[in-house]
Amino acid sequence: MTQTAPRPTSAPGATGGVAARLAEAVRPFIGGDLPVRLEAWDGSVAGPADGPLVVLRSPDALRRLLWHPGELGAAQAYVTGELDVPEQDGWDLGSALTHAFAVGAERGLSGVRLSPRALVDAVRTISGLGALGRPPAAPASQARIKGRLHSLARDRSSISHHYDLSNEFYSLILEPQMAYSCGYHATPETSLEDAQRAKLDLVCTKLGLQPGMKMLDVGCGWGSLSLHAAEHFGAQVTGVTIAAEQKKFIDARIAERGLQDRVEIRLQDYREVPERDHFDAVGSLEMGEHVGALNYPTYVEVLRRAVRPGGRVLIQQMSRQGAGGGKHPGGGPFIESFIAPDMTMRPVGETVDLIETGGLEVRDVHAMREHYVLTVHGWLERFEANIEAIRALVGEEVVRVWRLYLVGGALAFRDGRMGVDQILSVRPGADHTLEPIRSW
């Protein structure tokens, strides 16, 4: 999967050297022997011959890990190519990460306490390898977001970092509907396009859409839900996004399909939606993660007041076990630094509580975690199939960012570290039309 640069040839296949010194230095940190086959920049190797191969191409990889221990330093080294995990002998990035997670759990590394002697020895070894010094510059692909947390300007900057790479870039990863959220897979063999169409049908059905009904799509992305609701359910749709590239894309599709009288897309922050008691239904697919913990009550209030009493609100949102109030509520240092700055996830029960506290009555919670594994695999397949075109668009560093993002995301959903749920609510104050026995 990864593009492998030429390796040093000064000591091909050599043991000892840098690799052996590193293997000994990290023993206290990893609770024993290396679980991977390590190849260092001098050509030396250490570790089990049948393990996944990890290549350190530069002392800068160690320098990053010294300044940013753990996930962030490793991710920085990987995206810059200073650290690589080449595909070979049945191992690839996904299986190598799975192996590393399993070893960490088996050895209980989260509870390891290091002695002062171990730290001194490690620093001495790294100094001898020329890896001490100022930290290398942050990768160009790492987010540089400034301003007050979740201010209008900062939120636009955060969204732009991720979504404004280019519409062409996303078209090479997503299916033709450009749905960038979890699909609904009838079977593991369901195609990505069919799974996304089924998800859009499911959302519109849960919202009870009928011809002529008014729907608000909050965080409308590239318009998959807005266009589907108008074309296939006859709804009058208003969509809002703060990503300029997305609005440009949707407006072109609206014109192509002759939907100007049924779909309006606004370049507008959710907090600026003025309507009250206006819409028959409100949908928001995987946008609530981006509003932040402090603003989530505001987000719920915007959805509640926009819909008429008795109307339905559907939120599809990712969750993360144990994330509420934690150090990395956005999913970890890599995601927060390279993919989605300022994102907040929490256990689904906490989100349900916030929705109910905000004045909506929760009627259904539909867990879809396993579906996301299949969706991300579909994106990863398209990513690898179109890799040369993607590389030409965004360069090798962003290719490596996205490979790590997609592979790691699939593992997080597979292993239950993350989930995704559709939460269907109604606004009290009038009779609703939800059937006692659901038809979906």
List, as one string, the DSSP characters of 110-143: GG----HHHHHHHHHHHHHTT--SSPPPPPTTS-
pLDDT at residue 113 in the model: 58
First to last CA, the chain: 39
pLDDT bin (cut points 50, 70, 90) of residue 11 is very low
For residue 339, the 8-state DSSP code is I
Closest by CA to 346, choosing from 306, 303, 294, is 294
Mean pLDDT calculated for residue range 421-431: 98
Write the CATH number of the domain with boundaries 152-426: 3.40.50.150
pLDDT at residue 4 in the model: 44
H-type helices in 143-260, by residue range?
152-163, 167-171, 192-206, 224-233, 244-257
Could you give the CA distance from residue 11 to residue 408 in angstroms, rounded to a whole number?
A: 33
What Cα–Cα distance (Å) separates residue 139 from each residue in 73, 75, 273, 335, 352? 11, 10, 36, 14, 37
What Cα–Cα distance (Å) separates residue 419 from each residue in 410, 411, 415? 11, 11, 9
Could you give the CA distance from residue 366 to residue 202 in angstroms, rounded to a whole number?
A: 11
The residue written with tokens 């996930």 in the block is 71
For residue 374, the 8-state DSSP code is H
The two tokens of residue 197 are: 């169409």
Residue 324 or residue 237, greater confidence? 237
> Sheet holding 14-15: strands in order across?
14-15, 44-46, 37-39, 53-56, 83-84
Would you say the C-alpha torsion 151, 269, 192, 421 has a positive or negative sign?
A: positive
Could you give the CA distance from residue 323 to residue 346 in angstroms, rounded to a whole number?
A: 5
Strand, helix or coil at 349? helix
For residue 109, the 8-state DSSP code is G
Could you give the CA distance from residue 276 to residue 208 in angstroms, rounded to a whole number?
A: 20
Per-residue pLDDT reduced to its tens digit, 311-328: 999 999 999 987 544 577
Q: Which element (helix H / strand E) includes 306?
A: helix 296-306
Per-residue pLDDT reduced to its tens digit, 58-113: 999 999 988 888 889 999 999 999 999 999 999 999 999 999 989 988 887 664 55
Residue 420 pLDDT > 70: yes
Residue 263 pLDDT > 90: yes
Could you give the CA distance from residue 129 to residue 112 in angstroms, rounded to a whole number?
A: 25
Mean of per-residue pLDDT scores for the chain? 90
Per-residue pLDDT reduced to its tens digit, 213-231: 999 999 999 999 999 999 9
Residue 119 pLDDT > 90: no
Mean pLDDT calculated for residue range 124-142: 87
- Cβ 231 vs Cβ 289: under 8 Å: no
The two tokens of residue 95 are: 């299986």
Mean pLDDT calculated for residue range 410-424: 96
Distance of CA 7 to the CA centre of its chain: 32
pLDDT bin (cut points 50, 70, 90) of residue 9 is very low
pLDDT at residue 164 in the model: 63
Residue 352 pLDDT > 70: yes
Percent of the chain with pLDDT over 90: 72
Mean pLDDT calculated for residue range 111-124: 69
Closest by CA to 363, choosing from 308, 424, 304, 317, is 424
Could you give the CA distance from residue 222 to residue 163 in angstroms, rounded to a whole number?
A: 10
Indicate the length of the chain as a whole number: 440
pLDDT at residue 66 in the model: 84
pLDDT bin (cut points 50, 70, 90) of residue 266 is very high
Residue 340 or residue 34, greater confidence? 34
pLDDT at residue 302 in the model: 98
Residue intervals in the chain for CATH 3.40.50.150: 152-426
What burial class does residue 104 get, using C-beta atoms within 10 Å of its C-beta: 0-12 exposed, 13-18 middle, 19+ buried?
A: middle
Closest by CA to 29, choosing from 100, 96, 119, is 119
